[in-house]
Amino acid sequence: MRSAILWMVISYFIGSIPTGYLAARLVKGVDIRAVGSGSIGATNVRRVMGQGWAVFVSIVDMLKGALALLVTATSASTAPWLLSLVGFAVVMGHNYPVWLKFRGGKGVATTYGVVFFLWPYESFAVALLSGAIWYAVMTTTRYVSLASMSSLLALPVFFWMLDAPFSFILVSLVLAVSSLYRHGSNIERLSQGRESRV
């Protein structure tokens, strides 16, 4: 149990590296939390710094999730329950970074980084299938938030269809629900027809 807690703490701090905040602050001298949605994620970064920087932030945020899992699997264990706890912790670090008074992103990219390496090689298929849903919703509606939420909700379904360990199904569901909570203002704007399109 103490080992699991240690790896969760390490993973939390990996996730808490505020990529979007640092990029906006160091390159533009802007506090990303005072712009747009106030999120430090890639969608808000795009508003301030353009598409190229948004892609960069997305990739780094995904790598945070991947790094936490790979370090744990290499150094400690590949037990599904431990990887699931580590995956949860790294996304919580991204969403609630201690350095920014627990005001972070919405966890979409970091969740994908976790999912991709959660259960190789089956999870590669899960991530790609959910990514296809993101693309389909995005191209038809032009709502990034709706595409993100739809694709994350598909993750536990795909894990279940592939008969994944229960902890993988559970953590993907918990992360999807967490992201829905973080998208609360987006959901409200979608219901009112005021959400911005790309």
For 158-169, the pLDDT digits (tens) are 999 999 999 999
Using pLDDT thresholds of 50, 70 and 90, give the confidence band for residue 36.
confident
Least confident of 15-24, 45-54, 153-162, 166-175: 45-54
Is residue 198 in some structural domain?
no
Axis crossing angle, helix 166-182 with helix 144-161, rounded to the nearest 10 = 170
| Cα maximum dimension of the chain | 48
Model confidence at 37: pLDDT above 90:
no
- State the DSSP code for 29: -
User: Region 171-175: what's the mean pLDDT?
Assistant: 98
Backbone angles phi and psi of 135, in degrees to 5: -65, -45
* 197 found inside a domain: no
- Answer whether residue 180 is part of any domain: yes
> Over 80: is that where the pLDDT of 1 sits?
no
Q: Report yes or no: 71 and 114 within 8 Å, Cβ to Cβ.
A: no
pLDDT at residue 197 in the model: 87
Six token digits for residue 63: 């790598």
For the ranges 17-21, 35-39, 78-82, 141-145, the lowest mean pLDDT is seen at: 35-39
C-alpha 75/C-alpha 86 separation (Å) is: 13
pLDDT for the residue numbered 5: 95
Is residue 72 assigned to a domain? yes
Domain count, the chain: 1
Residue 15 lies in a domain: yes
Asked, for residue 149, whether it belongs to a domain, the answer is yes
Residue 126 has pLDDT above 90, yes or no: yes
Q: What is the mean pLDDT of the chain?
A: 94
pLDDT at 198: 81
Is 74 part of a structural domain of the chain?
yes
Q: Is 178 contained in some domain?
A: yes
Q: What is the residue range of 115's domain?
A: 2-192
Residue 94 has pLDDT above 90, yes or no: yes
pTM listed for this prediction: 0.95
Summarize the confidence of residues 102-108 as an average pLDDT.
94
